[in-house]
A and B are shown apart, each in its own frame.
Chain A
Amino acid sequence: MVNDDADVVARVLAGDGEAFGILIRRYEPGLLRFATRMLGNPDAAADAVAESLVRAYRHLAQCRDPSRLRSWLYRITGNRCRSHLARRHTTDIPLSEAPAPALAEASDTWEVLERSEQVALVERALAALPAEKREAFVLKHMEGMSYEEMAAVTGARIPTLKMRVHRAREALLEALEEVVR
């Protein structure tokens, strides 16, 4: 990588605020994916990621180990998501009852229709999990993190995280097998 995180962080801390854009482009897709899976709502996720990135910029000097910048950004975003879930209005639609994504239009091929149904199914099964298990599954299987990095992101111990991931897999497998078999 031409500009590794440490270089970019040093540039920002030296006063080149525009260089923060490099970090945004680098991590925004993953953070948005993570937040969307956590909150079940792309708009709320965008808010959470934007707030997290601004907070990270304000406190960038606190990230004393820029080689772990990714974990730090996910940790800030994860906490934003948890705060959002904690204060979620009772009038909000719970994640598990959120409407499934629209199915593909009739002109689409059967294969595509089946795929979108699968996506909807997996999304609903994931949304039905408690937030901690959902977070663990997303970090492990969608963001491809090691358990060590997940521990840095969540603050939880590795055995706890393993247990959460295992339980999440069991719930998902059960939901998937209902359809597939």
Chain B
Amino acid sequence: MRCRLAVALALIAAPLSAQNGAARLPGRVPAAALPAIDSIIATAVAESLPTEPLVQKALEGSAKNIPAGRLVSAVRRSLLQLRQARVIVTHAVPGQPVPEGHVASVAAALARGLTGPIVERLLAMAPNEPPGPALHAAADLVAHHFNPDSATNLLVEAHSKGLRGVRLLDVAVAADHELQRGGGRTPAEALAHVRAMLPNVPAPEAAVTRHGTQGS
């Protein structure tokens, strides 16, 4: 019962947590780190960068009892990553307003190890779609040691054949399954196999998201 009540409380708490970012920090973040973090967030506001990733990093570090100095450094690094992300978005999709969601997604993709050119290709592939799924699909493939350019080619082709949003994650899952299938299949062969089945990559079996095992 305890967990059921906890889930209920979590769901009630969610709208509260959606309030103004920095208002969530006092009382959670160590007093020694708060002025510096406030200043970093104020900089992000002034630069029209999203602030939620910075607030989350501060809350995360505080929950993990990270010392104030390292906490501030991590939040500052997140700001630098957001700046880098905006440059990439501006370059990839010139002539369009830069949505904050795009910047945050790109910063997350950079944190996962995707390079600027790969991110730019995926943004240019679908400039008006939320880039999160495509970027995570690419990061999944790269994390599983697929060649970054070949993996991106596969995702661009999947997109051109009509796969959108979370269906791009299925492409990454399918490639990984092909690689795991054994028989000495190389990553390049696994990608070629998935390319041949496009756009009919398997969808997740259950209606419940389970990280890593079911669906995405």
**B91 nearest CB neighbor, chain A only:** A86
Pairwise interchain contact A89-B95, C-beta atoms closer than 8 A: yes
Most buried by A among B38, B41, B48: B48
- Asked if A125 is at the interface of the complex by the 8 Å CB criterion, the answer is no
A80 at the interface (CB under 8 A from B): yes
Q: Which residue of A lies closest to B45 (CB)?
A: A59
**B45: chain A residues within 8 A (beta carbon):** 55, 59, 62, 76
Complex CA–CA separation, A90 to B39 (angstroms) = 36
Whether B95 lies near A79 (C-beta < 8 A) is no
Q: For window 85-102 of chain B, which residues contact chain A by CB distance below 8 Å?
A: 90, 94-98
* B48 & A62 in contact (Cβ 8 Å cutoff): no
Whether A25 is near chain B, meaning CB under 8 Å from some CB there, is no
CB distance from A77 to the nearest CB of B (A): 10
**CB nearest to A65 among chain B residues:** B42
A67 within 8 A of B: no
Q: Are A90 and B95 in contact (CB under 8 A)?
A: yes
CB contacts (< 8 Å) of A76 on chain B: these are 45-46, 48
Query: Min CB distance, B34 to chain A, in Å?
Result: 10
Contacts of A75 on B, CB cut-off 8 Å?
A: 46
A63 to chain B, nearest CB (A): 7
A64 within 8 A of partner (CB): yes
Q: How far is the CB of B180 from chain A (nearest CB, A)?
A: 43
Of chain A, the residue at the smallest CB distance from B87 is A86
Which B residues lie at the A interface, using CB under 8 A? 20, 22-23, 35, 38-39, 41-42, 45-48, 51, 90, 94-98
Q: List 6 tightest A-B contacts by C-beta distance, closest first.
A: A59-B45, A62-B42, A75-B46, A89-B95, A62-B45, A79-B47
Interface residues in chain A, defined as those with a beta carbon under 8 Å from any beta carbon in chain B? 55, 58-59, 61-64, 72, 75-76, 79-80, 83, 86-90
Q: Can you give 20 contacting A-B residue pairs, CB < 8 Å?
A: A59-B20, A59-B45, A61-B22, A62-B22, A62-B38, A62-B42, A72-B42, A72-B46, A79-B46, A80-B48, A83-B90, A86-B90, A87-B90, A87-B94, A87-B95, A87-B97, A87-B98, A88-B95, A89-B95, A90-B95
